[in-house]
Amino acid sequence: MKKGLQCSFCGRWHSEVATLIPGPGDIFICDSCVDVCKSVVDNMLGKDRALPERIKEFRDCVTGLRALLDMKEITQAEFDAKRKKLLEQLWKT
């Protein structure tokens, strides 16, 4: 027996969710799937907002390291190692 409309994302029936929002054609999304999608999008936006700031910090650190290298305070190998570590931190989430 057909139970009526179903969420196209999680497969729950209309009777099992608070709201089903219709999409184009024959697809629907329920309120809890909307919540999940919203937190995913918020997360992505949050990271995107933070990224330019982190890239700026990275560049400032590398500029500082390069100055130390120019003054022979650190070796090229130390510079490369520290720069590599900074890069790893930049992309670590």
Question: Which residues of the shown chain bind Zn ion in the complex (CB under 5 A)?
Answer: 7, 9-10, 30, 33
Q: Rounded CA gap, 72 and 65, in Å?
A: 10
DSSP state of 28: E
Report which of 63, 59, 41, 39 is spatially closest to residue 51, judged by C-alpha positions: 59
Residue 6 CB, nearest approach to Zn ion (Å): 9
Cβ-proximal residues to 46 (8 Å cutoff; 6+ apart), any chain: none
